[in-house]
Structure 1
Amino acid sequence: MIDVYSWPTPNGHKVHIMLEECGLDYRAIPIDIGAGDQFSEDFLSISPNNKIPAIVDSDGPDGKPISLFESGAILVYLAGKTGSFLGNSDRDKYNTLQWLMFQMGGVGPMFGQTHHFRIYAPNKIEYAIDRYTNETKRLYGVIDKQLSKTPYLAGDEYTIADIATFPWTRSFANQGIDLADFPHVKRWFDEVSARPAVERGVKVLADLRKPLVDDKAKEMLFGKTQYDKR
């Protein structure tokens, strides 16, 4: 059994989708990041960076429990555990991993900043909005070009690179993106969206998520609490 400590955000959805795609037995344990659950000692013991998601697999590689944080590392672990969605040859695996790193190092951080400054920042800073929106558009262009050559990000097969990237594209409108400008992304987006495991994965814990309107939640996510030493 795998316990996944998570919340219905893009990074959480990555792991929810992967678990559904792999057909693994798991239990979703909500970590309400608006309430500050991510700062509890119990959660910090498995996720020292106080970010979701994290997992505890009772049947680790040596038969003993293992805990992991960082969504990309979790995807690689689950792919290795099941022999799925990483590629068959060494060349395939490295190709998949480079696109996974592209998501981890570019898509996630940049799309996240775009969301913050366009939607959540208390002061609308034009420079920041333009900077991150333009970088987000550039990254969509990179993805679109790749998908003009191959059905999926890492080639002919659906992999953890697609699983990692897709959740970050679900809020394209809030990112200032019109998918009509990126037809290959649109084709890929529609195809991935329709996968049954994806449909199930994005619903995990979704009924618990609330609009980010109260001051406490904003403080937990964006205020000084984030920077306290732990």
Structure 2
Amino acid sequence: MLLYGSTDSGHSYKVRFFLLLSGTSHSYQWIDLGTPRSERLAAFVAASKFGEVPVLIDDGIAHCQSNAILMHLAQRTNAFRGHGAEWRSILEWLSWEANRIGFSAPNLRFSSLWEPQPPDVLAYLRKRVLADLQTLDEALSRTEFLLPSGPTIADISCSAYLFWLSQTGFAEADYPHIERWLGLLRALPGWMHPDEAMRPAPLAAGT
């Protein structure tokens, strides 16, 4: 397998996170998102349907969009897919993540670090992040991970950008159930912080 991803891309990190935790053999190719799309690595341009990272090449087939890739990997490897009866809940969490915290947290982080936005836009994004963190914290007050069976791709997806939570102006300590949950994920064998996992220098799987 070959993963195309980039620094600061939590969506790329979701896939790298899965591959590292599951011990799936793969190589990682860093893509410079600051380079115009037409000037990026030709193989990546050909594989990336939407011109975005992540892209996973598996048996010669290009898979795009992070949550779709997680679903493919869970089904292919039988890792982090929960019990059979939990698949519907996993899909619900993946859909929630895409529309909620996977939208609000990265956009607030981007606005805070790289592209300042007008005060009303920042206020809107902070309100969204606040609501999403409250929803997630409340859900985690009832269970160790998002699903009763243990960590799944739902946890991988929903947590990815939260390892950078402090960069949005929010603190893990203000959400005790999220803080506990992120600590459990950090303790899983193979976990790497996204700054390390997505750095430009190619890494051997599992290092």
- The alpha carbon displacement at 1:66 in A equals 1.6
TM-score (norm 2): 0.88
Preserved contact between residue 20 and residue 200 of structure 1 (Cα < 8 Å): no
Instruction: Select 2:144's aligned residue among 141, 145, 151.
Output: 151
**Corresponding letter in the other structure for 1:4:** L
Change over 3 Å in CA distance of 1:144–1:200 after alignment to 2: closer
Q: How many residues align?
A: 200
Percent of aligned pairs with the same residue? 23
Rounded to whole Å, the distance in 1 between the matches of 2:37 and 2:147 is: 35
Q: Is 1:87 matched up with 2:82?
A: yes
Cα deviation for residue 37 of structure 1 reads: 5.5
**CA–CA separation in structure 2 for the residues paired with 1:33 and 1:45:** 15
Q: Please name the residue that 1:46 is paired with.
A: 47
Q: Where do residues 1-230 of structure 1 align in structure 2 (5 Å cutoff)?
A: 2-8=1-7, 9-36=9-36, 40=40, 41-58=42-59, 65-89=60-84, 91-122=85-116, 124-199=117-192, 203-206=196-199, 208=201
**Take 2:23 and 2:38, find their aligned partners in 1: how far apart are those partners?**
27
**Structure 2: runs of 5+ lacking an equivalent:** 202-207
Larger Rg: 1
* Structure showing greater relative contact order (alpha-carbon pairs closer than 8 Å, 6 or more residues apart): 2
CA RMSD after TM alignment: 2.1
Q: Distance in 1 between matches of 2:17 and 2:199?
A: 13
- Evaluate the alpha carbon distance shift between residue 84 and residue 164 of structure 1 in structure 2; reply closer, same or farther with a 3 A threshold: same
Greater CA drift, 111-120 or 72-81:
111-120
Report the counterpart of residue 204 of structure 2 in structure 1: none
Instruction: List gaps (5 residues or longer) in structure 1.
Output: 59-64, 209-230
> What letter corresponds to residue 78 of structure 1 in structure 2?
L
Normalised to the residue count of structure 1, the TM-score between the two structures is 0.80
